[in-house]
């Protein structure tokens, strides 16, 4: 039941906390952006998180997963799994279940300054391409039988997993992306210390780089890279790295570009992609009508870009551009939510974006 012709089918998972506020805000303006290019979105709303626990007794029900099997584009709201009833704590979070089941190995996280924000590095315009299935992250590694363990109560160990296959596929994503941007890739590793693991990652990236002679490539150690992002973050285009380094560097870059609170991302495999804001469920402000929907709107614009590429339909990219443009224009006009120093709530902000999209 994938996307065809003038329709675009997108799964919608509201999630917890501010999810029920920012997800409907996002689908509303995305629908307008798609309408403007002659495409009708079909929203497939699926329960996940606390709502799914209450409805079906499971935060990530089989019925939701079966429905996702039929889709290739999803919007995932945040989840607040630390506050689920006891029996669900300590298990894989709904997001992790989905990442693993669909092998969403590429976490794509741009960092650029939206107008109206106050960036530390004003000319930042980069994309972190983060390997999302290996490295040191236990929840991502569990399926392969590794992760963290404690041989005694006073000793803890973590295994970092790097494979040629996973490094190769993420490197290809980075170089392909660079061809659609400024044709520069920075490979980030720590091969002077983590010689075997991040050394393998670096070596595989070098091999892949040889297949993209039109893309300029350089390498940085992760510690030097953190400093360079602050000093001259505007110099970077595509940054490819392993899981943990990518997690940290993408937060750093997003904050330097303005605000982590408006940072977008998608998680993708070769065949499916999921929009997911970088921030969490924000339970402290849930239900107050003040949540900022920008991160999820910008993530959904990325999802439409991915769809344009995957389905070969330029209109999806045009809709993405309209959506990003409308959000940027509203922010530039000084209209923003509390977290960005403004005074409007979620609904008023979304109204402003909607008005911009409909030419009002
Ligand atoms: P997680 O572990 O799920 O990533 P977290 O501990 O990083 O969660 P968040 O849920 O991201 O925490 O919230 C951190 C702070 O940022 C909170 O004060 C929250 O209210 C605020 N915040 C996060 N997202 C938004 C948003 N979209 N709009 C406004 N404020 C937000
Ligand atoms: Mg967080």
ipTM: 0.95
Q: Give the chain's mean pLDDT.
A: 93
Q: Closest by alpha carbon to 251, among 219, 231, 277, 275?
A: 277
Taking the CA of residue 338 as reference, the ligand 1 atom at the shortest distance is 29
* Residue ranges lining ligand 1, Cβ < 6 Å: 18, 22, 78, 261, 279-282, 284-285, 291-292, 295, 339
Determine which of 157-161, 221-225, 245-249, 277-281 has the lowest per-residue pLDDT on average: 157-161
pLDDT in tens, 167-189: 999 999 999 999 999 999 999 99
Determine which of 111-120, 164-173, 234-243 has the lowest per-residue pLDDT on average: 111-120
Nearest ligand to the C-alpha atom of residue 288: 1
Distance CA 292, CA 313 (A): 30
Work out the average pLDDT over 289-307.
97
Bridge partners, 75 (sequence order): 12, 275
Write down the pLDDT at residue 138.
Answer: 59
Determine which of 112-116, 119-123, 126-130 has the lowest per-residue pLDDT on average: 112-116
- Name the residues annotated as catalytic: 137, 190, 223, 247, 251
Tell me how far CA of residue 198 lies from CA of 176, 244, 276, 304, in angstroms.
21, 11, 27, 32
Q: Closest by alpha carbon to 317, among 297, 300, 296, 332?
A: 300
Residue with tokens 């399926």: 143
Determine which of 97-101, 172-176, 190-194, 320-324 has the lowest per-residue pLDDT on average: 97-101
pLDDT in tens, 268-281: 999 999 999 999 99
Give the side-chain half-sphere CA count within 13 A for 320.
Answer: 19
Q: Give me 182's structure tokens.
A: 């400024």
Which residues have their alpha-adjacent CB atom under 5 A from ion ligand 2? 280
Cα 2–chain centre separation: 21
Write down the pLDDT at residue 93.
Answer: 85
Strand, coil or helix: what is 259?
Answer: coil
Write down the pLDDT at residue 2.
Answer: 55
pLDDT at 89 over 70: yes
How many A from CA of 124 to the centre of ligand 2? Answer: 22
Q: Which residue is closest in CA terms to ligand 1's atom 12?
A: 280
Nearest ligand to the C-alpha atom of residue 263: 1
Work out the average pLDDT over 13-30.
98
How many A from CA of 213 to the centre of ligand 2? Answer: 37
pLDDT at 282 over 70: yes
Nearest ligand to the C-alpha atom of residue 247: 2
Taking the CA of residue 279 as reference, the ligand 1 atom at the shortest distance is 11
pLDDT at 197 over 50: yes
Distance CA 77, CA 309 (A): 23
Widest pairwise Cα distance in the chain: 65
Write down the pLDDT at residue 144.
Answer: 46
- Helices 19-35 and 294-311: crossing angle, nearest 10°? 50
Distance CA 186, CA 239 (A): 5
Write down the pLDDT at residue 192.
Answer: 96
Work out the average pLDDT over 113-142.
84
Higher pLDDT, 189 or 82: 189
Work out the average pLDDT over 35-63.
95
Distance CA 129, CA 132 (A): 9
Work out the average pLDDT over 224-235.
97
Tell me how far CA of residue 153 lies from CA of 55, 149, 156, 198, in angstroms.
39, 10, 8, 29
Give the side-chain half-sphere CA count within 13 A for 64.
Answer: 27
Distance CA 48, CA 76 (A): 9
Distance CA 45, CA 74 (A): 10
Answer for the pair 275, 296: CB distance below 8 angstroms, yes or no.
yes
Q: Which residue is closest in CA terms to ligand 1's atom 31?
A: 282
pLDDT at 46 over 70: yes
Q: Which residue is closest in CA terms to ligand 1's atom 22?
A: 282
Answer for the pair 176, 129: CB distance below 8 angstroms, yes or no.
no
- Helices 346-357 and 314-332: crossing angle, nearest 10°? 120
Distance CA 26, CA 41 (A): 12
pLDDT at 1 over 80: no
Write down the pLDDT at residue 4.
Answer: 65
Write down the pLDDT at residue 114.
Answer: 83
Following DSSP, what letter does each residue of 195-234 receive, concatenated? Answer: TTHHHHHHHHHHHHHTT-TTSEEEEEEHHHHHHHHHHHGG
Please say whether the dihedral angle defined by the alpha carbons of residues 29, 35, 37 and 40, taken in this order, is positive or negative: positive
Q: Which residue is closest in CA terms to ligand 1's atom 23?
A: 282
pTM for this structure?
0.94
Work out the average pLDDT over 132-144.
69
């Amino acid at each position: 039941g994938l996307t065809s012709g003038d329709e675009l089918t997108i799964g919608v998972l509201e999630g917890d906390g501010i999810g029920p506020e920012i997800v409907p805000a996002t689908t509303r303006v995305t629908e307008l952006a798609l309408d403007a290019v002659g495409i009708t979105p079909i929203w497939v709303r699926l329960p996940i998180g606390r709502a799914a626990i209450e409805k079906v007794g499971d935060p990530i029900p089989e019925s939701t997963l079966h429905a996702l099997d039929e889709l290739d584009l999803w919007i995932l709201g945040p989840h607040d799994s630390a506050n689920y009833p006891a029996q669900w704590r300590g298990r894989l979070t709904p997001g992790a279940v989905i990442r693993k089941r669909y092998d969403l190995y590429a976490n794509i996280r741009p960092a650029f300054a939206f107008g109206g924000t106050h960036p530390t590095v004003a000319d930042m315009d980069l994309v972190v391409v983060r390997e999302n299935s290996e490295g040191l992250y236990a929840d991502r590694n569990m399926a392969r039988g590794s992760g963290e363990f404690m041989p005694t109560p006073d000793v803890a160990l973590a295994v970092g997993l790097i494979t040629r296959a996973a490094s190769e596929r993420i490197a290809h994503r980075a170089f392909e992306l660079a061809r659609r941007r400024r044709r520069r890739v920075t490979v980030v590793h720590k091969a002077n210390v983590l010689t075997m693991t991040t050394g393998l990652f670096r070596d595989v990236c070098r091999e892949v780089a040889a297949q993209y002679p039109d893309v300029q490539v350089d390498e940085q150690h992760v510690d030097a890279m953190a400093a360079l992002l602050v000093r001259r973050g505007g110099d970077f285009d595509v940054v490819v790295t392993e899981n943990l380094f990518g997690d940290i560097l993408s937060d750093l870059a997003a904050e330097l570009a303005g605000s982590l609170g408006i940072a977008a991302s998608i998680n993708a495999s070769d065949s499916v992609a999921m929009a997911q804001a970088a921030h969490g469920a924000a339970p402290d402000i849930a239900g107050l009508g003040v949540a900022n929907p920008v991160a999820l709107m910008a993530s959904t614009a990325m999802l439409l870009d991915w769809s344009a590429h995957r389905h070969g339909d330029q209109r999806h990219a045009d809709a993405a551009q309209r959506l990003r443009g409308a959000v940027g224009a509203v922010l530039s006009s000084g209209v923003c939510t509390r977290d960005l120093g403004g005074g409007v709530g979620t609904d008023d902000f979304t109204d402003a974006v909607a008005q911009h999209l409909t030419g009002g």
